[in-house]
Amino acid sequence: MTVVTGTPGTGKSAVAEELERRGWMVVRAAETVGPFVLGDDPDRDTSVVDEEAWVRSFAPVDGIVEGHLAHLLPSDRAVVLRCRPDVLEGRLQARGYARAKVRENAEAEALDVILVETLEVHPQETVLEIDTTNLSLAETADLIEGFIRGTVPPSSGSLDWSAYLMEGL
């Protein structure tokens, strides 16, 4: 099983659709967490999920699991999609996200939150970090397929967007 994860707006859903078009079986993590939602957090405009219970109950699949919590699942490979925070802000604003939610997600991206969480679950040699800022869906899907097939080597930790956090100070 391969997981594709990342901060909202990095391209997970879109690349998952591209991978499906190419014949891959894709499970959307968001469609499996329903029974594990504990409630809503109105301050953060999100649902609170019992992540540990979800992970324990998740049956491995022969394919790809996509979602911003997918990296919590044990898997053979983990792909972390990344996007430069200023570009990510634009993508999330276009979706109609509230300003506070846009900023929270852009800061999480600048701080490598999803990558760090991924590396807490997955050995570094099983993780591929992809900067989707200027890649097409086809190029991103090609890299993921190559990683699954072993022709694209693992790599992580090469992106540093921490300067984003200093902007506007």
13 is in an annotated binding site: yes
Bridge partners of residue 27, in order along the sequence: 65
- Tokens encoding 106: 């852009």
Alpha helices in the chain (DSSP H): 12-21, 51-57, 85-94, 99-110, 113-121, 137-149
Q: Round to whole Å and give the CA distance between 83 and 108.
A: 11
Distance of CA 134 to the CA centre of its chain: 17
Count Cβ neighbours within 10 Å for each residue of 110-127 and write b for 16 or more, e otherwise: bbbebbebbbebbeeebb
Q: Is 12 annotated as a binding residue?
A: yes
**Cα separation, 32 vs 54, whole angstroms:** 8
Q: Does the annotation list 101 as a binding residue? A: no
Residue 6 counted as an annotated binding residue = no
Q: Which of 143, 159, 148 is nearest to 15 (CA)?
A: 143
Binding-site annotation, residues for ATP: 9, 11-13, 95
Residues annotated within the binding site are 9, 11-13, 95
